[in-house]
């Protein structure tokens, strides 16, 4: 049965804020083990589209399907339980807790131990081990005992990715994972995303502005413009489309070349 369905699908997904249609009848299916880049100018509805899929916003109309099951009306934690994981554009962590505790909390949520009232949290060694394992993967293990709020920005971005890895969902959504990172830190994140895709056969949705990042990672690009899906296809084709050159890059096709 699962074979018939794409892992994630949106059907005519729409949200209106008053008169403004932020996401406009977007129908799109995502196959297992693929990485789809979502591009478009600022305000095109990319993050809103993510919010509709992971549940922070509820759709005005249309549907979100995971493995063929409608999840449009489910709450955020219910969708997380079913396998949708989300990393955020603006760093969105637990600032007063330690780096290790941030990841441990995710492992704890996944193990469904949050309502365990009378054991000592530290006695669940497997959760701590899991946290440390993920932290080594993202090369944050040396900072494990630091408080998140004092962490440099680049490390906070890495931790953001670490939380998603610890959650290990079927669908991973990254919203500009490399935003604000220094040039030498970017490859670490890209390598991690690449690894998630190839080794673990996850489905990845990626909002990204850096064209070189998209070229390296994406199997497919979809383009959103004013909330509507305007292009969908292989990276090389989509990037060449005039509408993308104009809508996304904001310049005529003739002046192609250096891309911000």
Partner 1 sequence: MLTRLLSGDTPRSGLLTALLLIVLISLAFAPFLFPGTKSLETAARICIFIVLVASYDLLLGYAGIVSFAHTMFFGIGAYGTALALSTTGPNYGSLIWGTAAGAGVAALFALAIGLFSLRVKAIFFAMVTLAVASAFAVLVSQMSWLTGGEDGLNYKIPRELTPAFKLIKAKVFDVSINGKILAYYLVFFAAAILFLVMLRIVNSPFGRTLKAVRDNAFRAEAIGYRVVWYRTTATVLSAVMAALAGSLLAIWLRYTGPATTLSMEIMIDILLMVVIGGMGTLYGAVLGATLFILAQTYLQNLMGVAAEATSAVPVFSTLVAPERWLLWLGVLFILSIYFFPTGIVGRLRAGRA
Contact 171, 66 (CB under 8 A): yes
162-221 positions binding partner 1, by CB under 8 A: 163, 167
Q: Determine phi and psi for 178, rounding to 5 degrees.
A: -105, 5
Q: Could you report how far apart the first and last alpha carbons of the chain are, in Å?
A: 43
> Which residue stretch of 70-78, 129-137, 181-189, 234-242 sits at the interface with partner 1 (rule: CB under 8 A)?
70-78
Taking contact as CB under 8 A, which single stretch among the options 10-18, 32-40, 72-80, 246-254 is the one that binds partner 1? 72-80
Applying CB under 8 A, the span of 113-121, 190-198, 238-246, 247-255 interacting with partner 1 comes to: 113-121
Residues 48-57: b if buried by 16+ CB within 10 A, e if exposed:
bbbbbbbbeb
Binders of partner 1 among residues 15 to 54 (CB under 8 A) are 54
Q: Please pick, from the candidates 11, 110, 133, 215, the single residue that binds partner 1 as defined by CB under 8 A.
A: 110
Q: Which of 10, 36, 72, 108 binds partner 1 (CB under 8 A)?
A: 108
Task: Please state, in angstroms and rounded to a whole number, the distance separating the CA atoms of residues 93 and 88.
Answer: 9
Judged by CB under 8 A, does residue 150 bind partner 1? no
Position among 96, 125, 254, 257 found at the interface with partner 1 (CB under 8 A): 96
Beta strand segments in the chain, E: 8-17, 20-30, 35-39, 61-66, 69-70, 84-87, 171-175, 203-207, 220-225, 228-233
Q: Is residue 101 a contact residue for partner 1 (CB under 8 A)?
A: yes
| Cβ atoms 34, 219 nearer than 8 A | yes
Handedness of CA 223, 229, 235, 236 (dihedral sign): negative
Considering beta carbons, is residue 49 or 88 the nearer one to partner 1?
A: 88
Given the rule CB under 8 A, which residues bind partner 1? 54, 56, 75-77, 80-81, 86, 88, 92-97, 101, 104-106, 108-110, 113-124, 163, 167
């Amino acid at each position: 049965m699962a074979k018939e369905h794409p892992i994630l699908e949106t059907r005519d997904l729409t949200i209106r804020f008053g008169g403004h249609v932020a996401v406009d009848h977007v129908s799109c299916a995502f196959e297992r083990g693929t990485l789809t880049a979502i591009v478009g100018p600022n305000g095109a509805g990319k993050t809103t589209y993510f919010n509709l899929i992971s549940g922070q916003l509820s759709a005005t109309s249309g549907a979100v399907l995971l493995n063929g099951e409608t999840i449009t009306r489910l709450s955020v934690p219910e969708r997380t339980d079913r396998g949708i994981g989300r990393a955020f554009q603006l760093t969105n962590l637990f600032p007063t807790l330690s780096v290790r505790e941030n990841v441990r909390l995710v492992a704890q949520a996944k193990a469904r131990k949050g309502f365990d009232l009378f054991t000592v949290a530290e006695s669940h060694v497997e959760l701590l081990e899991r946290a440390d394992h993920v932290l080594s993967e993202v090369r944050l293990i040396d900072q494990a005992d630091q408080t998140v709020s004092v962490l440099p920005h680049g490390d906070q971005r890495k931790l953001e990715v670490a939380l998603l890895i610890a959650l290990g969902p079927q669908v991973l959504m990254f919203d500009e994972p490399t935003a604000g990172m220094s040039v030498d830190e970017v490859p670490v994140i890209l390598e991690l995303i690449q690894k998630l895709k190839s080794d673990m056969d996850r489905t990845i949705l990626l909002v990204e502005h850096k064209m070189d990042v998209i070229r390296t990672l994406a199997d497919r690009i979809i383009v959103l413009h004013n909330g509507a899906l305007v292009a969908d296809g292989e990276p090389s084709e989509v990037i060449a489309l005039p509408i993308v050159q104009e809508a996304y890059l904001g310049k005529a096709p003739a002046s192609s070349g250096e891309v911000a």
